[in-house]
Amino acid sequence: NIKYIIFILLITLESCNNKKVIINQEKKSKIQNDIINQKSKFIGHWFYESYNKDSIDNKTFEINLYNLSDNKLNGNYCSISRNGSKIDCFNDDEINIFGELKNDTIYLTFKSNWENSKGSAILYLIGDNLFWKITKKEGVFYLPSDIKLLKH
């Protein structure tokens, strides 16, 4: 009788462990799907333009974000300011943004084409708008510090 009870307990424990493994795999899969869904909202071409015929600082700022893997993204930007006298752009196929999605914010580093300066920024979404905010910069930049972009 004791062998039979131990056998039943072992089968019950094994069954419970298998259910935990399945539940943990389902949770992990859901978390990965949530990351992919959240990240897909960021991917694409984003644009800002400020133009006033009387202004001395008309500017455009564009960001292209691409899927890299898991919670990683990369891309490039192009910033044109001071009525075109300050241009900080790479070729379309060059990457100068490297980011990681954490929760609902992308933490990124970027390299400027202007004096090869480097910096950090965050990107976050509110509604259909992407917000860019520089958190650290080293060197000379002609980028907006804090700006709202629209998907193009």
Q: How many CB atoms lie within 10 A of CB 76?
A: 21
CA distances from 99 to 27, 78, 84 (A): 25, 16, 28
Both tokens of residue 146? 């804090």
**Is pTM, for the whole model, over 0.75?**
no
pLDDT digits (tens, 9 = 90+) for 19-78: 665 666 776 666 666 666 677 889 999 999 886 666 667 789 999 999 877 789 999 999
Structure-token match 């001071």, residue found: 82
pLDDT of residue 149 exceeding 90: yes
pLDDT at residue number 99: 94
pLDDT of residue 105 exceeding 80: yes
DSSP single-letter state for residue 27:
H
pLDDT at residue number 11: 76
Nearest-angstrom CA–CA distance, 131 and 46 = 10
pLDDT higher at 82 or 126: 126
CA atoms within 13 A on the CB side of 146: 1
Among 34-48, 61-75, 98-112, 113-127, the minimum mean pLDDT is found in 34-48
Give the mean pLDDT of 89-107.
Answer: 89
pLDDT digits (tens, 9 = 90+) for 7-19: 777 777 777 666 6
Nearest-angstrom CA–CA distance, 139 and 88 = 13
